[in-house]
Structure 1
């Protein structure tokens, strides 16, 4: 299949709309499965992760960690002063960001001739797409991988270049002098803390009453208390902005009220899926209350149509590793349609790179105490964390009543990304709480902080506690 005698009509087996992580993986897997593919995107700018997401934010956080380490060195008896060079910080962020983006673009350029079509697409039928370059695509199956973009409510319009989102914050030539962050989710908090540790005066406000997308109130409240020592976080408030000469007046009312005069506002109140311009009505798909196609998480298929959806476009698990997994499933199934295979979804894992790091693993109920058994450890006295002047936060482990296996965990603690991976793998492997507790724990490590929580769960599950569990506790671990 390929170009027809009519140059305005393109024919293929699988058309992929969107060249982000999900789209690139979907195209590759569809082609690997033997399909003739088209990858349609208006920009081919590289993935969200490389351009405006995961990687540039971690570059900023790395600089913030270095500055914070210097300011905290006095606790270890070391006299040092941090001098933050804002332009140099941003140049490094941009230099490495651009290198990562170019690496992604280089992979796109290696795709077979004729695969990439630079255009915007919209449905004219379940199997047909109209492109804004005048061409039309006919495909046996279509994959929607259009990603998501930050939303800008009317209350924050009119701020010009003083309004920042993840799309433009990494292009700043200099750090803001002060920053109002609207949104206490993962993106808002990562940027807020990084900017604060680089010397920016930061205030965070949010309409909700939890932070970092954490489900367990005990963990969310603990993280809120820790971060509030560095910058104010006002929850349960409605915020608005008014330009004020060369500044912006950010004000809020609700559970608390106040205002701050800031040089910039960083907006992180959500990233809705890029679906509005797809003309989904022509695709004859059932949509949910948010206007997102109803789909099967195991196949990525939308109803019984030859249409699949993957990545941030479906707003199910808006994380890079999930986008890649979904793209692989969607690509394979689109190529094999109507012979669609169901896949196993991996254990949920999400990480917020604040300090301390927050993470959720597996099944984390909104009301952990009511629905599941809980074991916990307070890291304020954990041995290795105390040695490193990072003794804060804690972890909560969950197991289903009547069971024996670890079901999930939520935490905010030093280097939680590593413990989160270990626990995720343990859940994937079906390990019981008893087996985890009987595993080796080196001393002194942060991993030892799991042991009190595991002991709690063993007791709650009424499992036996041999001497090495009950009496082998090392003080300070």
Structure 2
């Protein structure tokens, strides 16, 4: 480290058991990518990991949640096909649902485990690392001096103070919910962000009585008020929504049948008090990094009051001019696998010191997709970011999917897309959507933003008929039309459109 080299050199002969060029702490998506990339050009490297050697995505995140969602989609399609003239009686066997989730998760985990097994044994250390006052890494019985350190320690679910003790084994998080052996009868989900909304929607479609609580009257991180309102309308069927509510107390008690149940005392958006009770409370109030426990301050890394490292390069994860890189969920930048992957790749490139092999990836265009049904996506700049920049003369192209041709044919006709276009540059600034095939529309727009493609160029491309993607063309055509009109404020445009 630039600021600790003297102390490191002085201490090397007094207890240091290993000296390496690079140490990676954490073996999730970011850490593994950083290790693989750096290993291409230096063998003088170690990776240290506490816990499982897979990734958050595979073990407790993206993959098991999508497995649950896939089951929910099958159940929903089977139960609600009467409008197509198809009638059936559906039985959901919860133990079978969860058994498949766990079995397929193990299948995905096996690929990562085989890859980790292929790494040299002397490069892997299982144990909890701590950086001491001299800037040395303490792990198990070793004291390691590293010229460069990549911190990729990930994150853990945030649980409000006291809830673990008060709820006991009726409390679930995204780290534990996939260990259930059967589907419960009832569940409260606290938090309507990506994790909470996806899981609440999936469990509800699998027959669980789900009640969703959220402090804000917002779901899926949507900032655009119109798209948010449409998302609530599209997704509220089969779930009890208590948006804009405040949870006052949680506890457990024994019901009339002698069964221990979880209870939630809350105040709703109309300031009325209420009470919920059921089998489990799934806390989905976000994840937090744990780097304050690592001792990064001994590397001259400063953290703010929310545990976020200061002065981090969003492209490489490097902290200022230190030989310290903080990547993935640990830097609290964007908690997405593709971002963690890119940051790990870039940090591994930076430390390898080989211009031919090193490839620093640029910051990704912001992109978020929720795999509810209908899906939710945001891409590029948010409506708020655009509105706060007075230099951006923008227009909004809108399309409803309620009567869009292919959407109606498929019986998935609920949704709304807003595309934000810049009048000065003829470029897409961003978009928000709830609706069918949102994941594909998001990728098209992300590609356009990343590669500086104009609205005209997007419209010059073919849109096959009949497809849901024709809805994107409708929105882009409205953007193009409004761009030709002398600039007005957004409110005026909306009132006249």
Q: Out of 411, 419, 437, which is 2:459 matched to?
A: 437
Query: What is the root-mean-square deviation of aligned Cα atoms in Å?
Result: 2.2
- Who is 2:349 aligned against? 332
- State how 1:249-264 maps to structure 2 within 5 Å: 249-256=263-270, 257-264=273-280
- Who is 2:320 aligned against? 303
- Who is 2:208 aligned against? 200
How far apart, CA to CA, are the structure 2 residues paired with 1:425 and 1:113? Answer: 40
Native 8 Å contact 1:308 1:334 kept in 2: no
In structure 2, the residue corresponding to 1:232 is in which secondary structure? strand
**Stretches (4+) displaced over 6 A:** 4-7
Q: Out of 28, 36, 41, which is 2:49 matched to?
A: 41
- Who is 2:8 aligned against? none
- State how 1:5-404 maps to structure 2 within 5 Å: 9-34=17-42, 36-125=44-133, 127-131=135-139, 133-158=140-165, 159-239=167-247, 240-245=249-254, 246-256=260-270, 257-294=273-310, 295-336=312-353, 343-366=361-384, 372-404=394-426
Matched, 1:458 2:467: no
Native 8 Å contact 2:53 2:116 kept in 1: no
Native 8 Å contact 1:20 1:147 kept in 2: yes
In structure 2, the residue corresponding to 1:190 is in which secondary structure? helix
Native 8 Å contact 2:342 2:361 kept in 1: no
Deviation at 1:123, TM superposition (A): 1.4
How far apart, CA to CA, are the structure 1 residues paired with 2:352 and 2:398? Answer: 46
Instruction: Sort the Cα spacing of 1:105 and 1:128 in 2 relative to 1 into closer, same or farther, 3 A.
Output: same
Question: TM-score w.r.t. structure 1 length?
Answer: 0.92
Instruction: Sort the Cα spacing of 1:423 and 1:463 in 2 relative to 1 into closer, same or farther, 3 A.
Output: farther
Deviation at 1:441, TM superposition (A): 1.0
Native 8 Å contact 1:125 1:284 kept in 2: no
Native 8 Å contact 1:141 1:337 kept in 2: no
Of the structure 1 ranges 254-263 and 156-165, higher mean CA displacement relative to structure 2 is found in: 254-263
Deviation at 1:88, TM superposition (A): 0.4
Deviation at 1:127, TM superposition (A): 4.7
Native 8 Å contact 1:216 1:367 kept in 2: no
Which string of whole-angstrom CA distances, capped at 9 and with x for unpartnered residues, describes residues 374-412 of structure 1?
A: 111011010101011110011110122422011211111
In structure 2, the residue corresponding to 1:157 is in which secondary structure? helix
Q: Can you give the 5+ residue segments of structure 2 that lack an aligned partner in the other structure?
A: 1-11, 255-259, 487-497
- Who is 1:470 aligned against? none
Deviation at 1:207, TM superposition (A): 1.4
Of the structure 1 ranges 368-377 and 242-251, higher mean CA displacement relative to structure 2 is found in: 368-377
Q: Out of 408, 411, 435, which is 1:413 matched to?
A: 435
In structure 2, the residue corresponding to 1:272 is in which secondary structure? strand
Instruction: Sort the Cα spacing of 1:115 and 1:370 in 2 relative to 1 into closer, same or farther, 3 A.
Output: closer
Native 8 Å contact 1:361 1:410 kept in 2: yes
In structure 2, the residue corresponding to 1:300 is in which secondary structure? coil
Native 8 Å contact 1:14 1:35 kept in 2: no
Deviation at 1:229, TM superposition (A): 2.2
Deviation at 1:437, TM superposition (A): 1.8
Instruction: Sort the Cα spacing of 1:241 and 1:357 in 2 relative to 1 into closer, same or farther, 3 A.
Output: same
How far apart, CA to CA, are the structure 2 residues paired with 1:300 and 1:182? Answer: 31
Q: Can you give the 5+ residue segments of structure 1 that lack an aligned partner in the other structure?
A: 465-477
Instruction: Sort the Cα spacing of 1:454 and 1:255 in 2 relative to 1 into closer, same or farther, 3 A.
Output: same
How far apart, CA to CA, are the structure 2 residues paired with 1:220 and 1:334? Answer: 42
In structure 1, the residue corresponding to 2:229 is in which secondary structure? helix
Native 8 Å contact 2:242 2:268 kept in 1: no
